């Protein structure tokens, strides 16, 4: 008769049998090592964060009233999620009535609300966009890439920049070394 015992703490499978034991003693079980499992590669910081963000968003969908499925999720739901996250923000964003509105280094504390910083929201949307497609979503139906989400992020960036007195300037493209070809439309082309 063969009995099998597996303990979670030892990771060793023990097989006992009345006729097959070490040195033919019934009270000494034969120990066999557990088969080796393939090593799992450690996730990068980005991949770990992306997984946490995806799980957080999934939990948000479950807790939503009424509960939402990912297939029914729209850009409006993503905006709702981003506004929900503001309550966990750590960036002071001055209101227009605050005397420190537009000051990057206010000299005293104020009662203005804490919000999620634009950069954090932008990075979060990037990770969730990638996670959506990695989890079977189609790029053309990705709710994290909708125009409404892009416009919301732009508005957050601009309003936070004004409120905190930080200028975000557009990066200018460098001109290539070639001069553009000038065409004079008034003269006929030489033949």
- The torsion region of residue 11 among left (phi > 0), alpha (psi -120 to 50) and beta comes to left
The predicted pLDDT at position 145 comes to 94
Report if pTM > 0.75. Answer: no
The predicted pLDDT at position 92 comes to 87
Q: Tell me the CA distances in angstroms from 184 to 99, 122, 181, one per residue in order.
A: 56, 45, 10
* DSSP letter (8 states) at residue 43: P
User: pLDDT band at residue 7, thresholds of 50, 70 and 90?
Assistant: very low
Check pLDDT > 50 for residue 50: yes
Check pLDDT > 60 for residue 49: yes
CA gap 65, 60 in Å, rounded? 10
Worst-scoring range by mean pLDDT, 14-18, 129-133, 152-156? 14-18
Check pLDDT > 90 for residue 17: no
* DSSP letter (8 states) at residue 143: G
Task: Give me the count of residues in the chain.
Answer: 191
The predicted pLDDT at position 12 comes to 42
CA gap 147, 131 in Å, rounded? 18
Tell me the average pLDDT across 138-162. 93
Residues pairing with 3 in the sheet: 16
The predicted pLDDT at position 79 comes to 95
Please report, for the chain, how many H helices and E strands are present, in that order.
4, 5
The percent of residues in the chain predicted with pLDDT above 70, rounded, is: 66
First to last CA, the chain: 101
Q: What angle do CA 56, 62, 63 make, to 5 degrees?
A: 90
The more confidently predicted of residues 18 and 53 is: 53
């Amino acid at each position: 008769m063969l009995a099998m015992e597996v303990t979670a703490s030892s990771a060793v499978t023990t097989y006992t049998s009345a006729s097959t034991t070490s040195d033919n003693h019934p009270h000494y079980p034969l120990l066999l090592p557990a088969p080796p499992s393939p090593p799992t590669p450690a996730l990068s910081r980005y991949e770990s964060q992306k997984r946490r963000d995806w799980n957080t968003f999934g939990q948000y969908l479950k807790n939503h009233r009424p509960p939402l499925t990912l297939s029914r999720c729209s850009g409006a739901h993503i905006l709702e999620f981003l506004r929900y996250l503001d309550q966990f923000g750590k960036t002071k964003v001055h209101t227009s009535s605050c005397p420190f509105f537009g000051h990057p280094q206010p000299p005293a504390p104020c009662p203005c609300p804490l919000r999620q910083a634009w950069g954090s929201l932008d990075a979060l949307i990037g990770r969730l966009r990638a996670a959506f497609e990695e989890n079977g979503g189609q790029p053309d139906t990705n709710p994290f890439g909708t125009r409404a989400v892009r416009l919301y992020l732009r508005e957050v960036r601009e309003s936070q920049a004004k409120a905190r007195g930080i200028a975000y300037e557009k990066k200018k493209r460098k001109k290539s070394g070639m001069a553009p070809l000038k065409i004079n439309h008034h003269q006929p082309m030489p033949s």
